[in-house]
Structure 1
Amino acid sequence: MDIVEERIQLSRSTLHITLDRFNKRVRVEDYLGNLQECIDESLKVAEKISAEKIIFKARKENVPELLGRGFLYEGSIDKFFLGSDCYFLVKYTNVERRNSSYWVKEDQILASVQRLPLKVGVDTPPSSYHGRMADETDAVKLAGLYRTVFEVYPTPMNDPLYVKKCMENGTVFYIFEHEGVIVSAASAEINDFYHNAEITDCATLPEYRQYGLMKHLIEKLERHLVSHGIYCIYSIARSLSFGMNAVLHQHGYRYRGRLANNCFIFDKMEDMNLWVKNHT
């Protein structure tokens, strides 16, 4: 697989890192011990797989040291580490990956989104649409949905075995069905140790987008997460997508930065907006 998680034990530290060859990046998910040793190792791993971007999920007290090593701030997640904030510090290995062709357009989209009023409640979809939590028997249909909506996606969600593996690892999916077809879906990838979750894998077939199904799915996921003691909830949305950013903004999520050229999604390498909501 092009995306592999590793836990590396060093002489004075431990590093939990994701090697993402498909998206040409390395992501430091967690670390403990000597920070400089962790930084050195992440850079070595990035060079080994020819990664163009290194993402370090850093604690507040470590931000100055990372800035001192040439990392740049791109965003943050409030209360990510059991109540402490997480900061996305990044380093690029080539100028093409650093520069974004759509940055100004994305600023304009964000400004338009943030002018929208927050919504209290959501409209009820037609009675022929059935919303529920998905299970492993839905993996084939879910993979078909993602295959139809996204020409390119940063993880292999078009593979039923991968979808099933996500469920086995604790990811929760909610779906809407219409006449036996899954027409909309979203998931919550849960970190039980730090009590946070990412709302992700949001997809609706184009011909069904007029019913606001995604707003209902996010609401259902939030209720599920809060009932299981998960209060820090975040999502990473395509910066060029007015609709998805609008859904998050109107649900009370707060914009916390933009990850430049973060991953391959939809039809190209794209910038991603970071949105956060805390139920505390």
Structure 2
Amino acid sequence: MNQTASTIFLEEDYYFLEVYLDPFNKRIRIDDYRGNTKLLMEKAEELVLKHKAEKLIIKVRREDYFTFLEEGLQPEAVVDRYFLGSDAYFFSKFYTLERKNNDHWVIEDGMIHSIYQLDTSVQKAFPPKEYELRKADDSCAKELAALYRQVFQIYPTPLHEPEYIKKTMKEGTIYYTFFHSGKIVSAASAEVNSLYKNAELTDCATLKEHRKYGLMKIILQELEGELQRKGIYCAYSIARSLSFGMNAVLFQLGYSYRGRFMNNCFIYDKLENMNMWVKNLANC
């Protein structure tokens, strides 16, 4: 199996699976399913074996919660209203001892507790006039890739490659950026699921020297406005559990903590835990 992630669709007699094969992060994610849960679970584990994955993640519908619990999976996070208004439970199963072992869990619990003590009366940020907010198009791909290369040593998707960014734009991902002196210094995106009307706010990056002006909050609010105009009200974001700043930004923007993925992906400089944050944009 090469290092490129891909989505495959498996339609058998008694079930359907939409599978995201993610060799770089040594995991397999079931993004959608229907049919016989026992048979589809057998197929999922067959894929785990075939692709030597260490972790399986399944986005489970509320009515199948106990079925997947009985299959030996455990819920790690939930996204309210993910499936056209119905909640999605992210269940996981680990296949190696190392992948299930973690030294940061207690520290990260403490961080969530600290974040919930923060003041939520967010003052609107007004960065200096040299900063210009822009929606990105494919002419920005090369510079976006350069920004992500600079901020993240490693990243769970190939954002270091301009062609990959162009591909995501064609598939409906929306990017907003801040320019300073003609260069992109901050960016984030909304990865839209048009079938189930939800969006993941992701790919958040700001160059260190530009982090004091609240640029990320402004970009995320701009993305939220764009989603609302498209009739998408379920917004969620998955932040590095060790990043106080990013988790605090999401909390102060009205997102609620909804769980933590253990050893979820390779990001920044290692395999990390990731926190789930969710917001209902219909209430804004």
Gaps of 5+ in 1: none
Counterpart position of 1:251: 253
Offset of residue 63 of structure 1: 1.1
2:17 aligned with 1:15 = yes
* Aligned mates of 2:12, 2:122 — CA distance in 1: 50
Supply the AA of the counterpart residue of 1:201. D
Check the 8 A contact 1:253/1:276 in 2, yes or no.
yes
Supply the AA of the counterpart residue of 1:149. V
Normalising by structure 2, we get a TM-score of 0.97
* Aligned mates of 2:272, 2:178 — CA distance in 1: 27
Aligned residue pairs, count = 280
Q: Which segment drifts farther, 127-136 or 103-112?
A: 103-112
Supply the AA of the counterpart residue of 1:232. C
Counterpart position of 1:107: 109
Offset of residue 35 of structure 1: 1.3
Normalising by structure 1, we get a TM-score of 0.99
Equivalent positions of 1:19-168 (< 5 A) are: 19-168=21-170
Offset of residue 120 of structure 1: 3.6
Supply the AA of the counterpart residue of 2:114. S
Supply the AA of the counterpart residue of 2:146. G
Counterpart position of 2:181: 179
Counterpart position of 1:203: 205
Instruction: Give SS of 1:157's match.
Output: coil
Check the 8 A contact 1:106/1:239 in 2, yes or no.
yes
CA deviations over 1:203-230 (Å, ceiling 9, x no partner): 0000100011000000000000001000
Q: Which segment drifts farther, 32-41 or 219-228?
A: 32-41
RMSD: 0.8
Check the 8 A contact 1:119/1:251 in 2, yes or no.
no
Q: Which segment drifts farther, 105-114 or 270-279?
A: 105-114
* Aligned mates of 1:32, 1:70 — CA distance in 2: 19
Offset of residue 121 of structure 1: 4.4
* Aligned mates of 1:251, 1:84 — CA distance in 2: 23
Gaps of 5+ in 2: none
Question: Alignment partner for residue 189 of structure 1, among 188, 191, 196?
Answer: 191
